[in-house]
Amino acid sequence: MWLETILGSIKEFVVRFSDIISNTVDSDVIIADNNLKIVGSKFRYFTLYNEIEVGSLISEVISKKEKVIVKDKGDIKSCRQCEQFQDCKMIGFVGVPIYYKDCVVGAIALLLPQHRVESLFQTIDTSIEFLENMAELLSGKIEYYNQNQSLSQIIVEREAMMDLLSDAVVFTDYYGNIQHCNSRFKKLFTSGKNVNGKQLQELLPHAIFEEYFSEYNELKNIRVYISCGSYSFYGFVSSKQVIVNGKEYGIMFVFETMNQVQKNVQLSEKGSMVTLKWAEWIYPRDIIQKSKALAVTGKTILISSKNRNLSELLTKGITNFSERSLNGLKILFCDNMYRDLLNVFLFDEFGELRDANNGTMLIHDVENLPLYVQERLLYFIKTGNIKLNNNTSVKSDVRLIFSSTGDLRELAKKGLFLEELYYHISENEIIVPNLQDDMTLFQLLVNSGLSYYGKIYQNNNVSLDKEVLEYLFRSNFKENLNQLESVLESIVRKNENEVTLNDINDMGLYIETNQNDISLSTFEMEKISELLKTGCSKSEIARRLGIGRATLYRKLVEYGLSD
């Protein structure tokens, strides 16, 4: 069985090409592939050649990857040894290889009778140049064919992917003629009918589409209301031009209903309701103002803070103040112990960076990234491309925000952090004061917590005397804002008026020595026990305490609270 070769894939064209060459140079022509199979031929003088033998002149062109020119076959040893030497009427031979992507995929050969040898060899250089040009044209035809095959495959794959999307998606050509729409689009707008070939601007009579196909300005979450016949749509529309093989192919429109948007917001990342306005009780005014100024630019940001909670809250506020607020926030905690898993998690074809397209990603503790991962991240920041393992790349539009608890400048000087990456991400740096050093900020957090829980428990008269405030400031409660919140809630629930160190002692939170960890353990055990009694799930308890589920299970065993 003859397996199709690269040249064989365009056989119909090769056959016509053979005829054109033969008529042009008045000669018999054979075009063979690299399997020594005749793909196209035209015989004006001979009828002897139905197959090509190993060792023949044509096979020599292919194997040696160079042109072969023979004025008299009698001068060639391999020809003289051929069994058909006497019967063969061919006297002269001119053959050139056909290249495709630096590989020989076949050859074009002229078989010359005696009366054509003399005349053709008088202009042999011109004849060879002509054949080489023909070989180049064949190579171009192969490229065009393969591009079309790839394009067809891409279309099939993309149509299948579109049907898996929850949003309504329609794909049109440059003029708005619908090429494909997914099942969600049909359900919203066509009652399941096939609308391929119809114009989108006629199917959905809205000014936004007429305007788009006259100016081709990209649509980004444009809110629209469309009413036509028995259906109506209220939500957001976005568009994206699709480029295939470097050429513009068409436009994809995505429709997201308002109900779906609201549902996504509710199900999105924890803390999605955090705004910079809400965060004014936590951060100094200058930090809020700088955050607002940077939020609207879309630039990469570095948040330097000793407290990850403060970095994360500020990131959520920045995200919700930006135009990407509806596109989600992904949060990554870096740990170089994950090694290759972290690399795959970020840069795989279906990794987080590609999945976060048009959204925002917070990368916690960026100083923990291995240097080789930092290099790939730097390339992504500079180009917007994700390098894949198959030497290809894909684009992704992600707004990156980094947080660090270390001194990146010092780490870069020591070679422990990529210097170029540091200068890229530190250009827009927000420095959040350390709770360990800023009593004013700590007091702001405490007073806000007392006020909030005072309203919850209708106990608005609770305050802390100076010694209690200083004690809490010295303790390690401030290392975890979730634990600090739990302490403040417990104080409001169990006390009235001004709270003293004696009250804190009665709650098991105070020990006169520096053994704050022991007092914290006592409080933590009581808090876990209390939450278990209220019916809280273990996931919720872990969230409130700011610890992982595995850590919670260990503490349950340690405190004798396990099932």
Per DSSP, the residues of 82-146 read STTTTT----EEEEEEEEETTEEEEEEEEEE-HHHHHHHHTTHHHHHHHHHHHHHHHHHHHHHHH
Task: Supply the pLDDT for residue 270.
Answer: 43
Task: Supply the pLDDT for residue 29.
Answer: 92
**420 and 455: one domain?**
no
**251 and 276: one domain?**
no
Give residue 241's Cα distance to chain centre: 17
**86 and 204: one domain?**
no
CA distances, 398 to each of 295, 328, 332, 353 (Å): 14, 11, 13, 7
Strand order across the beta sheet in which 103-112 lies: 38-42, 28-33, 103-112, 92-100, 68-70
Residue position matching structure tokens 């707008």:
189
Give pLDDT tens digits for 436-483. Answer: 556 777 787 788 888 888 888 888 888 888 888 888 877 766 556 677
More confident residue, 287 or 84: 287
Other CB atoms within a 10 A radius of the CB of residue 402 amount to 28
Q: Is 563 inside a domain boundary?
A: no
Reference 244, options 155, 358, 145, 140; nearest CA is 155
Q: Is residue 390 over pLDDT 50?
A: yes
Task: Supply the pLDDT for residue 513.
Answer: 42
Strands 231-244 and 222-228: antiparallel
State the DSSP code for 243: E
Q: What CATH number corresponds to the domain at position 384?
A: 3.40.50.300
CA distances, 540 to each of 286, 535, 547 (Å): 34, 10, 10
**394 and 463: one domain?**
no
**97 and 195: one domain?**
no
Q: Is 161 inside a domain boundary?
A: no
Task: Supply the pLDDT for residue 337.
Answer: 62
Structure tokens at 466: 């100076």
**282 and 259: one domain?**
no
Number of domains making up the chain: 4
Q: Is residue 415 over pLDDT 60?
A: yes
More confident residue, 477 or 254: 254
Task: Supply the pLDDT for residue 85.
Answer: 73
Task: Supply the pLDDT for residue 519.
Answer: 45
Task: Supply the pLDDT for residue 2.
Answer: 42
Task: Supply the pLDDT for residue 518.
Answer: 39
**404 and 279: one domain?**
yes
Helix (H, G, I), strand (E, B) or coil at 320: helix
* pLDDT confidence bin for 290, thresholds 50/70/90: very high
- In angstroms, the CA 37 to CA 479 distance is 76
Q: Is residue 517 over pLDDT 50?
A: no
Task: Supply the pLDDT for residue 96.
Answer: 94
Of 263, 285, 301, at which residue does a domain stop? Answer: 263
Average pLDDT over residues 308-323: 89
CA distances, 102 to each of 142, 205, 562 (Å): 13, 52, 68
Of 431, 457, 481, at which residue does a domain stop? Answer: 431
Task: Supply the pLDDT for residue 285.
Answer: 86
Of 386, 409, 431, at which residue does a domain stop? Answer: 431
**448 and 493: one domain?**
yes
Q: Is 1 inside a domain boundary?
A: no
Range of the domain at 398: 271-431
Picking from 18-32, 181-195, 218-232, 364-378, which range would have the lowest pLDDT averaged per residue? 218-232
- Above pLDDT 70, what percent of the chain? 84
**184 and 109: one domain?**
no
Angle of CA points 136, 138, 139, to nearest 5°: 65
Q: 413 near 373, Cβ under 8 Å? A: no
Q: 206 near 113, Cβ under 8 Å? A: no
Q: Is residue 227 over pLDDT 50?
A: yes
Q: What CATH number corresponds to the domain at position 111?
A: 3.30.450.40
**What's the mean per-residue pLDDT of the chain?**
81
* pLDDT confidence bin for 248, thresholds 50/70/90: low
Which helix (H) or strand (E) segment holds residue 64: the answer is helix 57-64
Q: Is 90 inside a domain boundary?
A: yes
**291 and 243: one domain?**
no
Q: Is residue 292 over pLDDT 90?
A: yes
* pLDDT confidence bin for 502, thresholds 50/70/90: confident
Q: Is 315 inside a domain boundary?
A: yes
Q: Is residue 260 over pLDDT 70?
A: no
Q: Tell me the sheet residues that pair with 332.
A: 363
More confident residue, 291 or 44: 291
Q: 258 near 235, Cβ under 8 Å? A: yes
**410 and 374: one domain?**
yes
Q: Is 279 inside a domain boundary?
A: yes
pTM of the complete model: 0.43
- In angstroms, the CA 30 to CA 58 distance is 9
* pLDDT confidence bin for 516, thresholds 50/70/90: very low
Radius of gyration over every alpha carbon of the chain, rounded to an integer in angstroms: 37
Q: Is residue 175 over pLDDT 60?
A: yes
Q: Is residue 331 over pLDDT 70?
A: yes
Buried/exposed 436-462: b ≥16 CB within 10 Å, e otherwise: eebeebbebbbeebbeebbeeeebeeb
**385 and 459: one domain?**
no
Q: Is 171 inside a domain boundary?
A: yes
Q: 276 near 292, Cβ under 8 Å? A: yes
Q: 334 near 361, Cβ under 8 Å? A: no
Average pLDDT over residues 527-546: 73
Residue position matching structure tokens 């609770």:
462
Give pLDDT tens digits for 46-98. Answer: 766 677 888 888 999 998 899 999 988 888 887 777 777 777 778 899 999 99
Q: Is residue 514 over pLDDT 60?
A: no
Task: Supply the pLDDT for residue 188.
Answer: 85
Q: Is 371 inside a domain boundary?
A: yes
More confident residue, 34 or 528: 34
Task: Supply the pLDDT for residue 436.
Answer: 53
- In angstroms, the CA 16 to CA 42 distance is 9
Q: Is residue 403 over pLDDT 70?
A: yes
Please name the amino acid found at residue 118. E
Average pLDDT over residues 353-362: 87
* pLDDT confidence bin for 268, thresholds 50/70/90: very low
